[in-house]
Every structure is written in structure tokens, then in C-alpha cells.
Amino acid sequence: MPENLDYDVVIVGAGPAGLCAGMYAGRAMLKAVLIERGASGGELLNTEIIEDYPGFEHIDGWDLAQKFESHALKFGVEIHRKTVETVRKLDSGTFETITDGGDTYRSPTVIVTAGGTPIKLGVPGELEFAGKGVSYCAICDGAFFRGHTIAVIGGGDAAAEESDFLTRYAEKVYLVHRREELRASKILQKRVFENPKIVPIWNSVVERIDADEQGLVNNIVLRDAITAERRDLTASGVFIFIGFRPNTGIIEGHIGHDSSGYLTTDANMETSIRGLFAAGDLRSQLTRQVTTAVGDATTATIAAEKYLTALKSGQTSPEIAGSGGYAV
């Protein structure tokens, strides 16, 4: 039977941002629930090794996710394994977060940390070798390919920018694009064409990603988009930048966002819908890292707690003051 459940705050998503929000909500003695459709960890589960999170010079992504979850549970947050289908705000000011099983979670605040999803190529070897040569994050994984020959797939700003970045580590970077010219901005194209380590491969699409006996990427099969001719491309890494889709479709009603669909927030992580906060990869920002996700979540949860305090004191429309507290 579907249930109606009441909380102070509902947190959607159990990646680094969601787990951090759960920890801070528990520390603030809020009645909080974290709703996640799968295992906790988000994109950490797709990253074999983490070397850029302070305090951990080298840690497996799965292990770091487990530490995050244990820390959040220690402070009392509940974790429910369900899929959120809708988040909506009622005229009364209460939020309803509805899951696929029909359960309705009611709360005066919601923190959405549902992240985003890199758009996949959908070719054999891509999922099998994720974290073993296939990556969607140059900053996260570039250092593992020092002195290697790698390939970047894509033709937009992200592909061009990350190709240039990856030459800090790689000996050679093949930039594989399905068209005969890049879609990236002119200034980024200039950087690509002036970088002697970057070799563009035009009119080509990836058909398959191969690996050696240890399961590490060592080859890409390309197909010419015009002649259909196939060729092998030797590379130990494949960085895929063909797009990233923020998971914002669950939010009902108009909400402020940028041209790419990422949620816009104020400095306190509050969206254009009062009481709805956002943190992590689905928020419009310069970079998307574990460190920025937990920073967002820290701010969002503290702001949500202050919002709740203001509501309980009788303010019907609490405003955030420039000092970080709520105006009275």
C-alpha cells in the first residue's frame, strides 16, 4: 500500500551531494530521508580510483561511497531505495515527493541532488570498460594517462576543452568527431588546432571499444561516416564528451535553469522555487567534482535548516540575508 510520510527535509539522490546533505541534516537533528533508486555513491560508482578528494590520496570510488553512506547513517538520516518520479510544491507551501510505488513524502523543504547523466555512445565495450580506460571526466582521470595515447570523442566545447586539458598528461590525444568540423567555440578550436599533441580524426564514429586480457582499454574500432570503412585506433583511454543530461525532469512546474537545463540557484543553493534547494551535478556551475558537490550540499542543508527555523518562528516567506542568516 502506498504511504504518506512526513519529514523536515527530503533529499533526492544519494551521490556525494545527497549523502553529505544527509549527514548535515542528521547533525542538525532534522527528520530527514534520502531517496535513491540504486546503490549510494552516484558517479563515484563509475570511477575506479579517486585521487583528488582531500584526505584520500588514493581511494577506490566504491570505498569512498561506502564511507560517505556510513557517515550519513551515523547521524540518523534514513535512506529509502525508491525511484522519485515527481517533486512538486503545493499551494500550501508543502512539497510532495512521489515515488514510483506511489508513496508520497511531504516536507517543507527538499534538496535535489539527483545529479546528471553523461550521454553514452551506446557501443560494445563502453560500459564493460568504464573506469578501466573509458571515462567521462578529464579532471578526474586524466592523471592516470600520463605519457599515454588516448582518444577524446566529441566535437563540442567540452570535447575541445578537455582534449586540450588532457595534453598535460597524454603524449598524444586523438580527437574523434563524426563531422568534418568542430561545433566548439572558435577560441577553443584555435587551442585545439594549435596544440601539436592533438590529432583530429574527422567524419568518424566509434563502433567498438576493445581491451586487453586484463580488461584495460587498448583499441578503438572506428567507422568512416562517409565511406563506411573501418579502422583500428590504438589508445589506452577513451574520454567521451558528447553531452551531459541533468536529471531535472522530476521537478514539476517552472524552475529557473540555464540554457543547458542545469538548475540556477542563489549563493545558498536555493532555486527559484522557495524551499527547494539544489546541490551537485544538476546545478549550473563552473565545474562538477566530488569536492564541489559536498560543498554545495553543506550550504544547501544549512540554508534549509535556517529556512525551517524561520518558518517555525512564523515567517511565511523567509528571505535569506546577505550575512547567511534569514532576515526578520
**Distance separating alpha carbons of residues 311 and 10, to the nearest angstrom:** 16
Which one of the listed residues 8, 20, 141, 164 is annotated catalytic?
Answer: 141
How many residues are present in the chain? Answer: 328
Can you say whether the dihedral through the CA atoms of 314, 319, 27, 265 is positive or negative? positive
Q: Which of 60, 63, 103, 137 is catalytic?
A: 137
Residue 87 has which C-alpha cell? 517533486
What is the crossing angle of helices 186-194 and 157-166, to 10°? 30
Which residues are within 8 A (CB) of 323 and not within 5 positions of it... i.e. 6 or more apart? none
Long-range contact pairs involving 210-218 (C-beta distance under 8 Å, separation at least 24): 210/125, 211/125, 211/128, 211/129, 211/132, 211/133, 215/128, 215/129, 215/132, 216/129, 216/132, 216/133, 217/125, 217/129, 217/132, 217/133, 217/134, 218/133
Active site residue 20: no
141 is annotated as an active-site residue? yes
CA angle 159, 160, 161 (to 5 degrees): 95
- Please state, in angstroms and rounded to a whole number, the distance separating the CA atoms of residues 101 and 157: 40
Distance CA 32, CA 28 (A): 10
Catalytic residue from among 140, 164, 281, 296: 140
Helix (H/G/I), strand (E/B), else coil: 135: strand
* Pair type for strands 172-176 and 149-153: parallel
CA distance 279 to 223: 39
First to last CA, the chain: 43
CA-to-CA dists, residue 301 to 18, 90, 231, 269, 304, angstroms: 10, 21, 51, 9, 5
List the catalytic residues: 137, 140-141
